[in-house]
Amino acid sequence: MTVRPRKEIHLAAHFPGVNNTTVWADPRAKSQIEFASFEHLARTAERGLFDFFFLAEGLRLREHKGRIHDLDVVGRPESLTVLSALAAVTERLGLAATVNATFNEPYELARRLASLDHLSGGRAAWNVVTSSDAFTGENFRRGGCLDRADLPHSRLRSSGGTPITRAAEFVATARELWDSWTPEGLPRPFAHRGRHFDIAGEFTVPRSPQGHPVVIQAGDSPPGREFAASAADVVFTRHGTLEEGRAFYADVKGRLATYGRAPEDLKIMPGVTFVLGDTVAEAQERAAEIRRRQISPQNAILTLEQIWGVDLSSYDPDGPLPDIDPDPESTMVQGRVRVGDPLAVAEKWRTLSREKGLSIRQTVIEASGRQSFIGTPDTVAAELDEFVRTDAADGFILVPHLTPGGLDEFVDRVVPLLQERGAFRTEYTGTTLRSHLGLAQPVWKG
């Protein structure tokens, strides 16, 4: 019988985002836009020997009831520019940018990513996302439509395509560009002609230290999973519980063989939250307090409106849930992913409220899910390790609730315990993100 080597955990730091996970109404919460905040979190992650630092992206400010959503953090910098600057103040930490494949073009983005890889000595990663709604499209030349007449040849105009097929061809095209220089440093012309892109010329950047920057994929639909299995190095998922995680893990890893890939060629990293305390009870108390802060009275009504799809501003957050049913066709919420089945969710929440005698706000707090890992540094370290050992994940993208100090405690208290368990590196052994993730250098396809 062969003994499987101990799986090492991979860790990433997610800069706090623009939803209500991020608690801005805390005296310790600092700027979400000043460079000092990015520098603080990145340096903390590097001190904790993390694999990479991660920035999300949203290309249109969210709206609610036709107006800009004002209850959560709003505003963030452009990812690749911040990461280029962070390359100056970190040495080993991977630097991952979320960049949309619908509202960009392969030549320009491949060039920016290869540039980041050079500027950081091989630490660049690209999280490929595919949001493509017409709402976001209003900020761009391309608009929202993928089958519009902006394709170069009329032959291609009617062929359509989906955000995922465009993203898949986008990534493939980027890889052709990254391969267009020989490893010896000779530029060679490229030509790509496909359904979405018809381009040719010469790439201006030599093959970068990682060969190809690390490709991350965030998405959950079957086509999204297939795309990840065929093309990504890392999957960013929302499946943060043990059962869901295992199912997702088995499903995605099971798709790899079709593409001639081994299970370890693709890392699965759910985005997770954590709360620490000196005792489990204290951690639970802190976790409850954080949830109360995340769900202000205003945010409770808004959360409800996102499900119901109608104006509920006349309801009292400390009163009972609405009797009326949600409008599944509502377009009231723009710029964020809608929940699966509003009618089912509404029914579940009403039941919860009735059974436990909860107000609107209490129901939202109760239903919106606990933080993924709550406990002492010891119990949290043990749980994280269990997730990875039992194939619910290869690692985690940690989403702190405070900017920029939300990772300090984790790095100071949990990382040493993971190291003691032999589940996490005690030093960086390589210089590139690929080496941290244990990924092979991509084979040059001359």
Partner 1 sequence: MTAPHGRALLHLAAALDQQAAYDAASHVELAQLAERGALDFVTLGDSFARPGLDGLGVLSRVAPATGRIGLVPTVTVTHTEPFHVQAAVATLDWVSRGRAGWRIDVSTTEREARLFGRRHASPEPSASLHALWQEAGEVADVAGRLWDSWQDDAEIRDEATGRFIDRDKLHYVDFEGATFSVKGPSIVPRPPQGHPVRVVDATDGPARRIAARYADVALVRVTGPAQARALRDELRHTAAEFGRSPDDLRVLVGLTVDLGDGECAAEPGWRSPLFERSRELGGGGGGSRQSAQGPLYRGGPVDLAELIAAWHGADAADGFHLTPVEPRRDLERLVNGTVALLQHRGLFRTFYPGSTLREHLGLARPANQYAVAGGAS
Query: Which positions lie near ligand FMN, rule CB under 6 A?
Result: 56-58, 98, 100, 129-131, 218-221, 224, 236-238, 271
**Binding partner at 288 among partner 1, ligand FMN, none, C-beta below 5 to 8 Å by kind:** none
271 binds, among partner 1, ligand FMN, none (CB under 5 to 8 A by kind): ligand FMN
Tell me how far apart the alpha carbons of residues 58 and 327 are, in angstroms, rounded to a whole number.
26
Q: Shortest Cβ distance from residue 446 to ligand FMN (Å)?
A: 32
What is the rounded CA–CA span in Å between residue 24 and residue 11? 24
Q: Do 18 and 62 contact (CB within 8 A), yes or no?
A: yes
Ramachandran angles phi, psi of 46, nearest 5°: -70, -35
| Contact stretch for partner 1 (CB under 8 A) within 136-144, 306-314, 367-375, 404-412 | 136-144
Check whether 22 is labelled as a binding-site residue.
no
365 and 332 Cβ atoms separated by less than 8 Å: no
Closer residue to ligand FMN (CB): 126 or 236: 236
Q: Which is nearer to partner 1, 150 or 316 (CB)?
A: 150
Peptide bond into 404 cis (omega under 30): yes
Does position 24 interact with partner 1 (CB under 8 A)? The reply is yes
Residues of span 269-328 touching partner 1 by CB under 8 A: 296-299
Tell whether residue 368 is a contact of partner 1 (CB under 8 A).
no
Q: Tell me: does residue 60 bind partner 1 (CB under 8 A).
A: yes
CA distance 184 to 307: 56
Q: Is 332 in the site for partner 1 (CB under 8 A)?
A: no
88 binds partner 1 (CB under 8 A): yes
Residue nearest to ligand FMN (CB): 224
Single out the residue of 144, 206, 322, 405 in contact with partner 1 (rule: CB under 8 A): 206
Contact between 205 and partner 1 per CB under 8 A: yes
Please give the single-letter amino acid code of residue 68: I
Binding of residue 70 to partner 1 (CB under 8 A): yes
Say which entry of partner 1, ligand FMN, none residue 39 contacts (CB below 5 to 8 A, set by partner kind).
Answer: partner 1
31 is in an annotated binding site: no
Q: Any binding-site annotation on 153?
A: yes
Which residues contribute to the annotated binding site?
Answer: 98, 153, 221
Where along the sequence are the contacts to partner 1 (CB under 8 A)? 24-25, 33-35, 38-39, 58-61, 67-68, 70-78, 80-82, 84-85, 87-89, 103-105, 107-108, 111-112, 114-116, 118-119, 138-142, 150, 152, 187, 197-202, 204-206, 296-299
Which residues contribute to the annotated binding site for FMN?
Answer: 98, 153, 221
